[in-house]
A = this chain, B = another copy of it.
Amino acid sequence: MVEAFDLPERILMGAGPSEVPPSVLRVMSAPLVGHLDPYFLKIMDENQTLLRYVFNTKNEFAIPISGTGSAGMETALCNMLESGDGIIIGINGLFSMRMKDIAERCGAKVHVIEQQLGRVFEPEQVEEALKETGAKAVALVHAETSTGACQPLQDIGRIVREKDALFIVDAVTSLGGVPVDVDANYIDICYSATQKCLSVPPGLAPLTLNERALEALENRRTKVQSWYLDLNMLRNYWGDERTYHHTAPISMNYALNQGLKIVQEEGLEERYERHKRISDLMTEGLVEMGFGLFAQEGHRLPMLITVTMPPGVDADRTRLELLQRYNIEFAGGFGELKGKIWRIGLMGHSASEKNVYYALSAIKKVTRK
């Protein structure tokens, strides 16, 4: 008999995965039904309805892509872009750089607009770039997980719509934690991931697109370069036709179903409020201990706090101690922020007073040496 492995009980306050509620973990272990079983089809339908709710959209098309958040990013870009298409990408962190890499692999002409790490884009910057380039699409990251900055969307979305371009938004870390409001923010295609504020294990990428994005998809001159991520085919698989495409990850869809029902039960507004309240509590404690807040004031993500260290505190050494001694996971910085910041996640089920009070006490211990 093979023994199931034992794992330490981590407090997940990193950049994702977040902690998963017990009932979501329980449905993960439910026996499987077939992927074309009437019971599974019902779960697929429910998941689409529930995704419309969390995206706050009237879009018909809202499905989980069978891959992680990065697969969602690639799906959005490779379905909207063809060789030679122009796209404006706002680069102010790791995930927008990833967008550029993917768009270039689609053969797109990428026009970069930039902001410092931790800062957000102003509507004028996007407007000017659109005037200059006449690009087909604009892509921004809503919640830049590498810096902790929260990009305002509505004014930019309105400008993009007026110019008849497509607005592509990465809501990987924001969905379920701050309002994404796909329709109100004029977003044409939006994707996320399960392991952040939805508190479902990683493995699926919720994605929605509106009629304008569908029209762009239908008007392509060439096939989507990815078969696995081709939204024309995924649409027929998730739609009434049920045309076989791939085998949907059954257990992950069980988990998504349960996770989204928990979000619905709490209520989106209540969930946003909880994220803000818990985040403020954590931030206050950190500032008191001498940590600096990294992201631009007024544009700080509640579910991902980025802090610079008090004098004399080694970011990576203390972070390792928090993991080894206290079972607390924080994330570190990427690239030029490596060794300089902590990224503290308070996402979904992880956003609790219990975690904040425990973490603040532990931080006090490891920084006082």
Q: Which A residues are within 8 Å of any B CB, using their own CB?
A: 1-2, 4-5, 7-10, 12, 14, 16-17, 19-20, 23, 25-35, 37, 39, 43, 66-71, 74, 78, 98, 101-102, 104-106, 193, 195, 201-203, 223-229, 244-252, 254-255, 257-258, 261-262, 265, 323, 329, 334
Contact = CB atoms under 8 A, between A and B. Distances in A.
Given A5-B257, A29-B29, A247-B16, A224 B105 contact: yes
A303 B26 CA distance: 30
Contact of A34 (B1, B14, B31, B74): B14
Nearest to A265: B2
Contacts of A105: 223-227
A319 to B, nearest CB: 11
Would you list the 3 A-B pairs with minimal beta carbon distance, nearest first? A203-B249, A29-B29, A70-B246
21 contacts: A5-B43, A5-B257, A7-B31, A10-B31, A10-B32, A12-B32, A12-B33, A19-B32, A28-B251, A29-B29, A35-B202, A37-B329, A67-B246, A69-B246, A70-B245, A74-B227, A98-B227, A195-B250, A201-B249, A249-B252, A251-B255
Contacts of A67: 66-67, 71, 228, 246
Nearest to A101: B227
Contact of A8 (B33, B74, B249): B33
- Identical copies in the complex: 2
Given A201-B251, A247-B16, A247-B193, A30 B8 contact: no
A310 to B, nearest CB: 24
B250 A17 contact: yes
A246 B172 CA distance: 12
Nearest to A260: B2
B244 A334 contact: yes
A99 B305 CA distance: 45
Given A8-B33, A203-B252, A195 B247 contact: yes
Contacts of A248: 68, 202
A33 B244 CA distance: 34
Contacts of A224: 105
A141 to B, nearest CB: 15
A16 B246 CA distance: 11
A67 B329 CA distance: 26
Contact of A102 (B10, B30, B227): B227
Contact of A7 (B33, B193, B227): B33
Given A28-B251, A247-B195, A249-B202, A17 B34 contact: yes
Given A71-B228, A226-B226, A246-B70, A2 B23 contact: yes
A358 to B, nearest CB: 16
A4 B28 contact: no
A5 B32 contact: no
A196 B204 CA distance: 20
Contact of A68 (B1, B4, B227, B247): B247
A200 to B, nearest CB: 9
Contact of A70 (B2, B4, B228): B228
Contacts of A223: 104-105
Nearest to A40: B7
Given A2-B258, A70-B227, A106-B225, 11 more contacts: A2-B262, A7-B39, A8-B33, A12-B32, A68-B248, A68-B249, A70-B247, A102-B227, A195-B247, A201-B252, A202-B248
Interface centre among A27, A29, A102 (most CB of B within 10 A): A29
